[in-house]
Chain A
Amino acid sequence: EDKVVQSPLSLVVHEGDTVTLNCSYEVTNFRSLLWYKQEKKAPTFLFMLTSSGIEKKSGRLSSILDKKELSSILNITATQTGDSAIYLCAVGGKGADGLTFGKGTHLIIQP
């Protein structure tokens, strides 16, 4: 059974801080790891990672995959209150049965 574990489950920081969110996984026939941001409604796609050591970056957000350690991190620098959300990590195998999600990290940015 595929498994995704995220840590921490919740995090409260002040605006301007840098945060690192963690995701570890166990999956048969790993194909990709994805990060999503969820505010009030649907999860929205952030990054997809398939190769170890290659950083994906979008503005203040970046992510990297370590296939040897079966893990990924999501970094957010110079945090803003708009970054407050649940961040979801998911992994995909080779089957059609979608993605396996972690429980998410609930990030709160205080002004």
Chain B
Amino acid sequence: DAGITQSPRHKVTETGTPVTLRCHQTENHRYMYWYRQDPGHGLRLIHYSYGVKDTDKGEVSDGYSVSRSKTEDFLLTLESATSSQTSVYFCAISGMIPGPNSPLHFGNGTRLTVT
């Protein structure tokens, strides 16, 4: 699994509570990504990082924040969870800008349910 660990694997939380998902990699890759996957929408980019403390927004960033204080860890925080954030969250990494010779590799996902 390209040395990517996501935690927790499953989480159920209540509306309005903060939630933090963790992605840990052992590949020393520069680029890290958070995607969410929902039926009918495919994979959509939330936030990404191109280095320690360097992050940027993706397509569906509202309601989410990220932090990357170390190369190996990329955290996704839902400040106040809503039912629309119920989804499967995937972390992905790449050694270079994703492209020739550098496909994204994915973690096993975190299934988040907001009740």
Chain A interfacial positions (CB closer than 8 Å to B): 31-32, 34, 41-45, 48, 50, 88, 90, 92, 94-104
Indicate whether A42 sits within 8 Å of B42 (C-beta atoms), given known contacts A48-B100, A98-B33. no
Q: Is the interface of A mostly helix, strand, loop or mixed?
A: loop
A71→B35 CA distance, assembly (Å):
24
Does A98 contact B90, Cβ atoms closer than 8 Å? no
Q: What are 27 residue pairs bridging A and B, where the CB atoms are less than 8 Å apart in the complex?
A: A31-B99, A34-B103, A41-B108, A42-B90, A42-B107, A43-B90, A43-B106, A44-B106, A45-B104, A48-B101, A50-B100, A90-B43, A92-B97, A92-B98, A92-B99, A97-B45, A97-B56, A97-B58, A98-B31, A98-B45, A98-B58, A98-B92, A98-B94, A98-B104, A99-B104, A103-B41, A104-B42
A48, B1: Cα distance in complex, Å: 18
In the assembled complex, B50 has its CB within 8 A of some CB on chain A: yes
Known: A42-B1, A48-B100. 10 other contacts (CB 8 A): A34-B104, A43-B106, A45-B105, A50-B99, A92-B97, A94-B99, A98-B45, A99-B98, A101-B44, A103-B42
Residues of B participating in the A interface, judged by any CB pair closer than 8 Å: 1, 31, 33, 35, 40-45, 48, 50, 56, 58, 90, 92, 94, 97-101, 103-109
Q: Which residues of B contact A103 (CB under 8 A)?
A: 40-42
